[in-house]
Every structure is written in C-alpha cells, then in structure tokens.
Amino acid sequence: MKLKIKKGDTVEVIAGADKGKKGTVLGIDKNKMKIRVQGVRVQTHFDKKEGMMKKEGLIDYSNVKFVQAAAAKAAKGAKGAKTKKTAEAAAKA
C-alpha cells in the first residue's frame, strides 16, 4: 500500500499518550504500517557500549496527521534554465 507520509515530512500525533505533539518522520515501516516520529514515544534503551540511550519508538500510521511536506531538494540542472549565452541573446533582441 502506498503511504502518503514520507521520511522528512512533519506530522502531528492525533491519538495516544503523545497526542498533540508535532515532529518530523525519522523512518517508516511500510509492512507494519508504523512510523517513527522525532520526540514521540521516547523509550529508554540500554547498550553495553554506549550505555543508556533515548530512542523514538514506532507508532501506528493511523495515529498521525500530515502537517507539512519535507523540503524539496534543489534541482541540479533545472530544465528551461537560461544559460549565459541565451541570456545575452535575449538581451540583444
């Protein structure tokens, strides 16, 4: 199933203990229909090397509302972009 929310989008939690919180999507599990949101469902994780860590847990896709899309990456060579030669030719005409 195609999901409308992508990594990097801003979402708001609409159900559960973290209701009302906003954050960016850190990751998506499409098979389980769960997403990981920054600052939501923070869990304590113990690692032998790094010790105590705080990690975001997975929440259900249906418990979030889309707020804002991720910022689009800048295009390297946009189509229709004027080059120096075409700009000079247009200025002469």
pLDDT tens for residues 47-61?
999 999 999 999 999
Residue ranges making up the domain that contains 46: 1-69
pLDDT tens for residues 3-45?
899 999 999 999 999 999 999 999 999 999 999 999 999 999 9
Task: Say what the pTM is.
Answer: 0.70
Count up the domains in the chain and report the number: 1
Q: What is the CATH number of the domain that holds 49?
A: 2.30.30.30
In a domain, 15, yes or no: yes
Phi-psi category of 17—alpha, beta or left, where left has phi over 0 and alpha has psi -120 to 50? alpha
